[in-house]
Amino acid sequence: MRDTTTSERATAFLLGLLGDADAERMRRRIGLRPPPPDGESGESEEALDARRAVYSWWTRTPVPSSVLLWVLEEDDPELNALVWRHLSADDAMRRAIVRGIPHGPGRRRAVPLAESVRREPEPPVPEHFSRFGLVGALRACRSMDPARKAASMVVGRPGWEAVALADQERALPGYARWALAVRPDCPPALRERFGSHAKFTHRVRQSGVVDGPARYATTWNPADRVLRVLSLGRTMFPARVREAEDALRPLVREHLGDREDAWAVLAQLVGTYYGTVPELLATAGAVA
């Protein structure tokens, strides 16, 4: 086995949750080399090619919208460029990127544009926004498509504050509320005002809004894709990935620990397992 596929990165990510000595022994047992560091200077051409391939996989892989928000929270121009190119990015995200809107907690300084994004135009401004302004466009929504377009104009803290005030004064239409609620950067208190019953929260989750990396790591599937995304966490969303690592570490120790046979089974299962990561770990441990 060689660490040249994205599925092998998934196994390497879990191995990284063990202590160094145990992880190295397991790597030798299943023939897995340590993954090359992502994004560091002084890389060889081979390592650079491997990193480009991984980033290409990243931009072509569907992820919950919240994952892209965690990347945007780094307020890093180059990471923003990767979000811009991501197939799951929407007009609201691209509009925020091109306008330099910061997403990290407490940050207000504009985020510079990466060279590759400077040539990109901002997504089109909806007609209703040009005619009625932000709140007027949201109130004019009578179907989902105009609601999504109007919601894409809510940019940064001032935009969300204006929406919250408008909804407090007079409830926004249902289509507008839903389009805003499924934005991953919708303030939690505002989303709860839009709806808090079980059916609503379930649909919000299905839309890609995840309550933190720990929940993504333990409840999303397929496990292989989740782990591959998390394997890039220290590069893409280093401020948040530890939440996922801390949630999975005790499960790795419980089900796999230092059992070489269990790790060998996991390496065989991970590429085709459709369940969640905790289910994968439990299955590998039980089979071994």
- The pLDDT, as a whole number, for residue 4 is 45
| Residue 116 is assigned to a structural domain of this protein | yes
- In the chain, the number of structural domains is 2
Instruction: Calculate the CA dihedral of residues 84, 85, 89, 95 and round it to 10 degrees.
Output: 30
Residue the block writes with tokens 């805003």? 180
Q: Tokens 């391939």, residue?
A: 53
Q: Are residues 201 and 276 in the same domain?
A: no
Full pLDDT tens readout for the chain, 288 residues: 334 466 788 998 999 998 777 788 888 878 886 655 554 445 567 767 777 888 899 999 999 999 999 999 999 999 999 999 999 999 999 999 999 999 999 999 999 999 999 999 999 999 989 999 999 999 999 999 999 999 999 999 999 999 999 999 999 999 999 999 999 999 999 999 999 999 999 999 999 999 999 999 999 999 999 999 999 999 999 999 999 999 999 999 999 998 989 999 999 999 999 999 999 999 999 997
Q: What does DSSP assign to residue 173?
A: P
Boundary residue ending a domain (145, 177, 211): 211
Domain that holds residue 166: 65-211
84 and 108 fall within a common domain: yes
Reported pTM: 0.91
The CA-based angle 79-85-88, given to 5 degrees, is 100
